[in-house]
Structure 1
Amino acid sequence: MPSIAHHALFFALSALTAASAFAQAPRGELVGPGRVSTAANETSATLTRDGAHLYFMRGDYASADTAILLADRVGDGWARVRVAPFSGVWRDSEPHIAPDGKRLYFVSNRPPTPDAAPLTTVRGGQSFPGANLWYVEARGEGWGEPVHIPGEVNRGVAVFNPSVAANGNLYFSAVREDSGGVNQLYLAKRNGEGWDAPQRLDVGVGPKANRMDPAIDPQERFMLFAGNEGDSRGAADIYIVFRDAQGGWGKPIALPGEVNSVWLENAPTLGRAFGEIFATSMRPQTAAFPKAKPDRVGDIAARVGQPLNGSRNLWRFDIAPLLREHGIQAEG
């Protein structure tokens, strides 16, 4: 029978392990407060290969009207925020720069051909902007003209969140005939200059759960996504799945530490440094009650006009310890 000393040692080691895990848990950093992360909705951060430029989406609170923006790195911060040259006319969103930096993929409701109508979808008898995948090619210091991805990838008007591996395989989320009426994750394998027909990924609890926003490791060793696998702390959490020995995907793990909260988290993306990720969160600033002095109208307006007002903001995290724990090491 274990002794009291044995139990004491066990609990001491457990506490030490928990403290170590807490110390390594990802701590969050709000991205560009007041410049990138503002009172509006911001999601879907993606960096150029040299890390000098940040592309992201900004829109209204409902994300009904969105555009892709661009910011320049200045020291440890971001400046010169402006609309990307290929955006600002249509409902553009969810930019993703390929690992080699040669293409920027994005989502838009723009007409797939010059003589076509803008993409629309109908829900509850109302018409909303549709969504297809597009890309622009790198051209010197800028980008070429937007190109609509043809074929099976864009079959339908609810195709979102492109993420590309180093070999050109295209991951995205969509509502399709085999998605159970909700968003699911799909893979279209690169085939010459195009892609094969998309296949739904067998991940987690299956098609009954809504999952979206894939962010694939360039070597396809792991993938992030947003959803609720039955253990989400909020409306949606950020999960990671690792490639298993059979080439499939393991059990989704909700990211630890401050990545997830009781508020909505979505749109995870990978940074350029090993373990660097970005995510979107609706977490507000912590409020203490009772207040030291009663609010005035101007106090409320000032608070609502700042980041952390309950809109979506961009956050940066470091999950390198978790990746190493699962045998993932930095490339090169």
Structure 2
Amino acid sequence: MSRKPLALSLSIAMAVSALGTAHAGELVGPGVISTGLQETSAAVSPDGHTLYFMRSDFAEKDDTILVSHERNGHWSTPEVVPFSGQWHDSEPAMSPDGKRLYFVSNRPPHDGDAPVTAEMNGQHFAGSHLWYVEQQADGRWGQPVHVDGAHNDGAMIYNPSVAANGDVYFSAHRADSGKLYQIYVARRTDKGYAAPERVDLGDIDHNRMDPGVDPQQRFIVYAGNEGDSLGSADLYIAFRDTNGHWSKPVHLGGDVNSPSLENAPSLGPHFGELYVSSSREEEVHFPKKADTISSLQARLQAPLNGSRNLWLFDISDVLKAHGIDH
């Protein structure tokens, strides 16, 4: 990778080597960003020095968007962004120019509305609509703006990803999704966003979620299981031809996938950077070194305890093999 902004620290390097399939990845901000809690959905500023992400409880019923800044090679203690902390806010996504930060939330869409709820298989839960904040002249984010449109139908829009022309890709369960989730795109027009179109990645018997789209829409990375997943969900890549058709999805090789859950991929600002949420954990060998209560608590509360953490991988070789070199 041309730039390695996220150096491993603490004793994580030893833990990573024990994972085998993860040794080429970098754990993002071990102990600071990646912790014993759930961290997903990295959104990185164009200069690579500011990282937005989601931290949640294990049941993922309480999601909050945080931000951390890289200074002198280290990530700052994360803080709750000013527009989050009251609602079920999740899955931040940076526009390629860095001027908008999209996210989804169950907050009331307009003044006087009720919070958004969703229903599936008889279960009711916090729903989600699409929102964004826009960068102001002083560099701060403005007030959240609700993105009206049919993409909010059903209140199950997840993991937005924004192309350079403003098109928004996302995963959702909609009328044409079948029994599972599929990936959609809402095209940006002069009058707002057009009705979502399902991205044709093959038959809808496979679950597909969490798109991370190339700004020029040449390829898309997503989480799912096309029948050859190593775990409950792996990451796949599909390429778009000049006629707008998508290739058959390819299972990402190398160290990106593991027998653990991988999801919520997003592209970094530099060529080949792929941020991933993974629940891969440190392997425990028995008999282990005898734990004290202090060592046990420290280990169980640290990254690589089976919670989801943020990782950074390099997929530049995969892109170059398909004629993409920048």
Structure 2: distance between partners of 1:132 and 1:182: 19
RMSD over equivalenced CA pairs, Å? 1.5
Give how far 1:81 is off: 1.1
CA 1:143–1:313 in structure 2 vs 1: closer, same or farther (change >3 Å)?
same
Larger radius of gyration: 1
Aligned partner of 1:168 among 127, 143, 166: 166
| Other structure's SS at 2:135 match | strand
State the shift of 1:151 in Å: 1.8
1:262 equivalent in alignment to 2:233: no
Find out whether 1:308 has 2:304 as its counterpart: yes
Partner of 1:248: 245
Gap change, CA 1:181 and 1:56, over 3 Å in 2:
same
d(CA) in 2 for partners of 1:45, 1:312? 12
Q: Deviations over 1:108-157 (max 9, x none)?
A: 01011111111112345443111111111111221111111112121121
Kept in 2, the 8 Å contact 1:26–1:318? The answer is no
Shift of 1:292: 3.2
Deviations along 1:39-60, whole A, 9 cap, x unmatched? 1100000111222210000001
The partner residue of 2:98 within 94, 98, 101 is: 101
Could you say if the C-alpha distance between residues 153 and 122 of structure 1 is closer, same or farther in structure 2, counting changes exceeding 3 Å?
closer
Give me the whole-angstrom Cα distance separating, in 1, the residues matched to 2:119 and 2:195: 25
Secondary structure at the aligned position of 1:56 is classed as: strand
Aligned positions of 1:114-133 closer than 5 A:
114-123=111-120, 125-133=122-130
Scaled by the length of structure 1, the TM-score of the pair is 0.88
Q: Structure 2 residue aligned with 1:183, among 154, 165, 181?
A: 181
Question: Counterpart in 2 of 1:60?
Answer: 57
CA distance in 2, matches of 1:315, 1:135: 25
Question: Which among 317, 321, 324 is matched to residue 321 of structure 1?
Answer: 317
Structure 1 stretches lacking a partner, 5+ long: 1-24
Q: Secondary structure at the match of 2:255?
A: coil
Q: Is the Cα–Cα contact under 8 Å of residues 26 and 317 in structure 1 kept in the other structure?
A: no
Q: Deviations over 1:1-32 (max 9, x none)?
A: xxxxxxxxxxxxxxxxxxxxxxxx99210000
Displacement of 1:246 after TM fit?
3.2
Separation of aligned partners in 2, 1:241 and 1:175: 20
Counterparts of 2:162 and 2:152, CA distance in 1 = 15
State whether residues 103 and 135 of structure 1, in contact with CA within 8 Å, keep that contact through their aligned partners in structure 2.
Answer: yes
Q: What is the identity, as a one-letter code, of the residue corresponding to 2:259?
A: V
How far the C-alpha of 1:195 sits from its partner, in A, is 1.2
Alignment partner, residue 286 of structure 2? 289
**TM value normalised by structure 2:** 0.90
Alignment correspondent of 2:46: 49
Q: Distance in 2 between matches of 1:114 and 1:230?
A: 45
Q: Which residue of 1 aligns with 2:79?
A: 82
- When the two structures are aligned, how many residues end up with a matched partner? 304
- For residues 133-152 of structure 1, the aligned pairs below 5 Å read 133-139=130-136, 140-152=138-150
Cα separation, 1, equivalents of 2:261 and 2:131: 27
Q: 1:19 aligns to what?
A: none
Q: Deviations over 1:150-201 (max 9, x none)?
A: 1212112111111111111111111111101321100111111511110111
| Whole-angstrom distance in 1 between the partners of 2:230 and 2:115 | 37
User: Which ranges in structure 2 are unaligned for 5 or more consecutive residues?
Assistant: 1-21
CA contact (8 A) 1:26 1:259 kept: no
Paired AA for residue 291 in structure 1: K
SS at match of 1:156: helix
Instruction: Tell me the distance in 2 between the aligned counterparts of 1:113 and 1:195.
Output: 18
Shift in alpha-carbon separation, 1:124–1:223, aligned structure 2, 3 A: closer
